[in-house]
Amino acid sequence: MAKSHRCGWVVLMGPPNAGKSTLTNALIGQKVSIVTSKPQTTRNRIIGICSEDNAQVIFMDTPGLHHDKNQMRGPLGKQMIQATWQSLSTANAIMMVLDSDLYIRKPEFLERDIASFKMAFAQEERPVFIIVNKVDLFADKAKMLPLLEKLHEDLPKATLYPLSAAQKDGIAELKKMLIDAMPEGEPQFPKDQLSTAPTRFLCAEIIREKVFDHLRQEVPYTTAVDIEHWEEIPEKNQTIINAVIYVARSSHKAMVIGRAGTTIKEIGTLARKDIQELIGGKVHLELWVKVKENWLEEINLYTEEML
Ligand SMILES: Nc1nc2c(ncn2[C@@H]2O[C@H](COP(=O)(O)OP(=O)(O)OP(=O)(O)O)[C@@H](O)[C@H]2O)c(=O)[nH]1
Ligand SMILES: [Mg+2]
């Protein structure tokens, strides 16, 4: 291996719904982390690996940390907080991702949302990048100036970087900057590996993404997905997958199923399409909905050992 090879870890952290998972996927060039329009989608640390000839950058997408501690209660909340701060401790460089459009519309929310990060980064020796995301949402870029000034005041050593993760605008340049910030070192993963998450976990996540997309308000937050049966039939190039969507209440079960089963059917159709793309073969997907009032207390339903 040539001496100039760089390798290191980068954490993506920040408030919920800022676009951390969208940015992770854009940097990797493939979907490794689910994305929804609802906050607190990501529940675990998700690793995405970006390999180039002379560098490997390992990205850690983390759960968004809600400013209101009540929103992060219980074992699940605890796990989300832990996943985020632990990832920070192992990173060589830090990206804090922010929704620029939100703080341009509501500047008063900025301090509230970044207070804990500001504290954590105050004495930081490692490179910190503040990703000012979603710049596609407003045409007049001058609108960003007060936000950029405030961020510069708060974190003078950090590099401010406006971009649009959704439109992949500014991604290549960001990647270059991150590679330059990595220490020299050998690759830590095979160069064709994109994530450390097991395929079964990714499939459960895809189903959870569709549940988030199709259900309103609190229902997605009380659901978890478990793959119960996985059977590969090589001669048919087919995989049979049985998955259970756990809900906390029977009223939620009815909502997940929908009138005459329409909602669950749609969730299944969309999930199957994405899973087929992921595993590159035909998929027969069966979904079941089960009520498990205390699943939120059963940490093993949503904890995956990913490294
Ligand atoms: N317009 C626009 N929308 C974006 C951009 N990046 C992300 N989004 C949208 O913002 C929403 C949240 O994106 P995610 O990537 O799930 O955000 P996250 O920070 O991972 O959220 P949590 O995991 O819930 O903390 C989704 O609806 C995305 O499509 C962007 O650059 N522009
Ligand atoms: Mg996310």
**How many A from CA of 233 to the centre of ligand 2?**
33
**How many A from CA of 101 to the centre of ligand 2?**
17
pLDDT at 81 over 90: yes
Q: Which atom of ligand 1 is nearest to the CA of 61?
A: 20
Contact status, residue 36 vs residue 212, Cβ threshold 8 Å: yes
Q: Would you say 62 is a known binding-site residue? A: yes
Q: Would you say 17 is a known binding-site residue? A: yes
- Mean pLDDT computed over 5-33: 97
3-state SS, residue 127: coil
In sequence order, the 6+-apart residues with CB closer than 8 A to the CB of 20 are 12, 13, 14, 33, 42, 61, 62, 64, 97
pLDDT of residue 304: 53
Q: Give the start-to-end residue ranges of the domains of the chain.
A: 6-180, 199-301
pLDDT at 299 over 70: no
Position with higher pLDDT, 221 vs 112: 112
Q: Which ligand is nearest to the CA of 212?
A: 1
Q: Which ligand is nearest to the CA of 46?
A: 2
pLDDT of residue 303: 57
Position with higher pLDDT, 71 vs 236: 236
Regarding the beta carbon of 40 and ligand 1, being less than 6 Å apart is answered yes
For the beta sheet containing 282-291, the strands, ordered from the edge strand earlier in sequence to the opposite edge, are: 223-233, 238-247, 282-291
pLDDT of residue 135: 97
Outline where DSSP puts E strands in 140-280. 159-162, 223-233, 238-247
Regarding the beta carbon of 195 and ligand 1, being less than 6 Å apart is answered no
CATH class, range 6-180: alpha beta
Cα(238)–Cα(55) distance, rounded to whole angstroms?
36
pLDDT of residue 222: 85
- Mean pLDDT computed over 147-154: 96
pLDDT at 307 over 50: no
pLDDT at 32 over 90: yes
CATH architecture type of domain 199-301: 2-Layer Sandwich (3.30)
**How many A from CA of 96 to the centre of ligand 2?**
13
* Residue 294 backbone phi and psi in degrees, to 5: -110, 25
Q: Which ligand is nearest to the CA of 168?
A: 1
Regarding the beta carbon of 162 and ligand 1, being less than 6 Å apart is answered no
Cα(284)–Cα(302) distance, rounded to whole angstroms?
23
pLDDT of residue 74: 86
Q: Which atom of ligand 1 is nearest to the CA of 39?
A: 24
**How many A from CA of 77 to the centre of ligand 2?**
14
pLDDT of residue 295: 75
- Mean pLDDT computed over 89-97: 98
pLDDT of residue 302: 55
Q: Which of 217-221, 252-256, 279-283 has the lowest mean pLDDT?
A: 217-221
Q: What share of the chain has pLDDT > 90, as a percent? A: 85
pLDDT at 139 over 60: yes
